[in-house]
Amino acid sequence: MNTLILERVKCNECPLERLTIPHRLGDTETFAQTWDDFAPAVPLNAPGAVAAGARFFGGWAIIGGLLALIAWPLRRRVIA
């Protein structure tokens, strides 16, 4: 039965529907073991989130500073 479902999924369903294959196969033991072994590609904890946020905003600050430095000679000068 599982091979019939897999063949139908390969041919007829869109990629988003393929995400539900584990739920439709009914093999709860395999699904549970897979979920237990799952490790995210980018493990994120509180210090990692703070560091990522600091680098994000710091990077934008550097880019903004460089663009301001490049644009500085091109500004109009106010003659008083």
**What pLDDT, on a 0 to 100 scale, did the predictor assign at position 42?**
76
For the entire predicted model, the pTM comes to 0.43
For residue 22, being part of any structural domain is answered with yes
Q: Which residues of the chain have pLDDT under 70?
A: 1-13, 15, 18, 21-25, 80
**What pLDDT, on a 0 to 100 scale, did the predictor assign at position 6?**
60
For residue 13, being part of any structural domain is answered with yes
**Which residue range is the domain that position 7 belongs to?**
2-37
Q: Name the residue among 30, 31, 28, 17 with its Cα closest to residue 8.
A: 17
Return the ∠ at Cα 77 (arms to 74 and 80), rounded to 5°: 180
Q: Name the residue among 7, 38, 12 with its Cα closest to residue 25.
A: 7
Tally of domains in the chain: 1
